[in-house]
Amino acid sequence: MDKKRILIVDDEADIVESIKFSLELEGFECLEANDGEEALFKAKEERPDLILLDIMLPKINGYKVSRTLKFDDQYKDIPIIMLTARAQEKDIKIGETTGANEYITKPFDMEELLALITKYLKTE
């Protein structure tokens, strides 16, 4: 069975590394991007099975990354979990309207995140 690939997009290296460490222990293959531009490039180039996406990113913010992918027929089926410090109701609404499947605020519980990832990557 092929490993499921997850693109982790965050401009804070320590967050990327900690998520990557946990996901690799669970058997996932991890890709990384540190800004919105790189996230779009890697999402289109690598076609990950799921994307963990921060909102406050250099170059292109997470909302625009999500919207660009979700409104493109080639990439719209890739689940996007927004993982962000922005916890206000208006931020969550914007996340929903730009196509995010889930919205988790930092600090987050790794077990909760893993449960969501597993939910979206269940194989038939």
User: What band does 124 get if pLDDT is binned at 50, 70 and 90?
Assistant: very low
What pLDDT is attached to residue 123? Answer: 57
The architecture (CATH level 2) of 5-120 comes to 3-Layer(aba) Sandwich (3.40)
- Output phi, psi for 82, to 5 deg: -80, 130
Q: Beginning with the edge strand found earlier in the chain, give each strand of the sheet holding 102-105 in spatial order.
A: 29-33, 5-9, 50-53, 80-84, 102-105
The 10s digit of each residue's pLDDT in 27-71 is 999 999 999 999 999 999 999 999 999 999 999 999 999 999 999
Closest CA to 62 of 52, 76, 72: 52
CA dihedral 88→15→82→108, nearest 10 degrees, is: -60
Indicate the domain borders of the chain. 5-120
The 10s digit of each residue's pLDDT in 57-107 is 999 999 999 999 999 999 999 999 999 988 889 998 999 999 999 999 999
Handedness of CA 116, 113, 63, 31 (dihedral sign): negative
The 10s digit of each residue's pLDDT in 30-42 is 999 999 999 999 9
Q: Tokens 């540190």 label which residue?
A: 34
Q: Global pTM? A: 0.95
